Amino acid sequence: MPYDEGLAERLRETLQGHPGINERKMFGGLAFMSRDYMFVGILGDVLMARVGPEGYAQALSLPHVREMDFTGKPMKGYVFVDPPGFESDADLWAWVDRCHRFVQALPPKQAK
């Protein structure tokens, strides 16, 4: 499934000036990585958001948010946000900031 190029460009603009962010094609979409952790991504026109286990229930209570279940079972700590949930730049920024802060708090990944 191709990802929404317009949303990809919005994310790139939102993330401008954040060092250490890179993009990786994965899950048939596009993921944005920080410290080798995926924190937001795009699948079709939907935002994939990594909110963490502690923020999962609260995120699911928000409008336009649902379980991330493309593997056939819910992925705890990750949610899908449908387009109305990030329609404004402020809403998109809020998701990006929330997810980026979560991965910044994770321990560094061990070298393989």
pLDDT per residue, tens digit, the chain (112 aa), is 589 999 999 999 999 988 999 999 988 899 999 999 999 999 999 999 999 999 999 999 999 999 998 778 888 899 999 999 999 999 999 999 999 999 999 998 886 6
Whether 110 is in a domain gets the answer no
Give alpha helix (H) positions in the chain. Answer: 5-15, 56-60, 89-104
pLDDT value, residue 36: 93
What predicted TM-score, i.e. pTM, was given to this entire model?
0.93
Whether the Cβ atoms of residue 83 and residue 3 lie closer than 8 Å to each other: no
Whether 111 is in a domain gets the answer no
The end-to-end CA distance of the chain, in Å, is 30
pLDDT value, residue 112: 65
What total number of domains does the chain contain? 1
Q: Identify the domain containing residue 67 by its residue range.
A: 5-104
Maximum alpha-carbon separation in the chain: 39
Whether 91 is in a domain gets the answer yes
- CATH number, domain with residue 50: 3.90.1150.30
Whether 51 is in a domain gets the answer yes
Whether 96 is in a domain gets the answer yes
CB atoms under 10 Å from CB of 5, counted, come to: 10
